[in-house]
Amino acid sequence: MTRQQLVDEIRRKQSYLCVGLDTDITKIPKHLLSHRDPVFEFNRQIIDATKDHCVAYKINTAFYESLGLQGWDAMEKTVDHIPVTHFKIADAKRGDIGNTSSQYAKAFFETLDFDAITVAPYMGADSVKPFLEYENKWTILLGLTSNPGAQDFELQQAGNGLLYEKVLTTAAQWGTPDNLMYVVGATQADWFTSIRKLTPDHFYLVPGVGAQGGSLREISEKAMNKDVGLLVNASRAIIYASHKEDFAAEAAEIARQYQYEMAGYLH
């Protein structure tokens, strides 16, 4: 998916919502466990219920990899079920030496038809560039995360700035705003103003809204750019809105509420 296609979809739907499919088989409604593939059945119903309110889906691959072959099968079927109008993110946090990263890129951009993958930047340019070589595919680099461990490295001084700032500005030279996004956690809302100054044109994938307590209003006010430049992810708040047979309808209602609020912030 190109940047313009993504922006057009955001404007058309008046939404920059990304629904996180962090599907934990121990947390889905019990009545689904009788299905041959309960994880996919859960995802299918969530997608069908929420697709009118969001522009993207993010699959956290760990929840599928942990189930072995059955989990990979569920993930592949889920990717195939997501409409082509929606941006499909593999939240896989890959990153290794160049030839290994090339295989990761092939796995998620060719074998599995994702539009984007999250990548860890620790090993530097040669570990990231194989992902950037794919046309109309996106690399989403970990920038500033919401977890307590961000203090260990990301927020440490590195030369004239903080380490995460060096990651943002250095990586911006590897790709372009058309193929490189950054992960910036929603619970770090106070940092968004300075981050936007460093990377004025890039999109941000923003986890941490909803169950983790991030403020959609603050993020939208501080980080939106002329092309919106945001994909705000909500996972548990939407997909686990209900554990009963009405779970999909409840998920749709929460997604609709997010979309309605987002429409008010768009300009």
Instruction: Show the DSSP H helices in the chain as ranges.
Output: 3-13, 38-50, 62-65, 69-81, 98-106, 125-132, 163-171, 192-198, 216-223, 236-239, 247-265
Q: Which residues pair with 89 in a beta bridge?
A: 58, 116
Give the active site residues: 93
Q: Which of 225, 244, 182, 228 has the alpha carbon at shortest distance from 207?
A: 182
Question: What is the token pair recorded at 115?
Answer: 């539009």
> Longest Cα pair distance anywhere in the chain, in angstroms?
57
Q: By three-state DSSP, how is residue 168 classified?
A: helix
* Residue 83 identity (one-letter amino acid): P
| Residue 225 DSSP symbol | B
Give every CB contact of residue 135 below 8 A, 6+ residues apart in sequence: none
Rounded distance between C-alpha atoms, residue 22 and residue 59, angstroms: 6
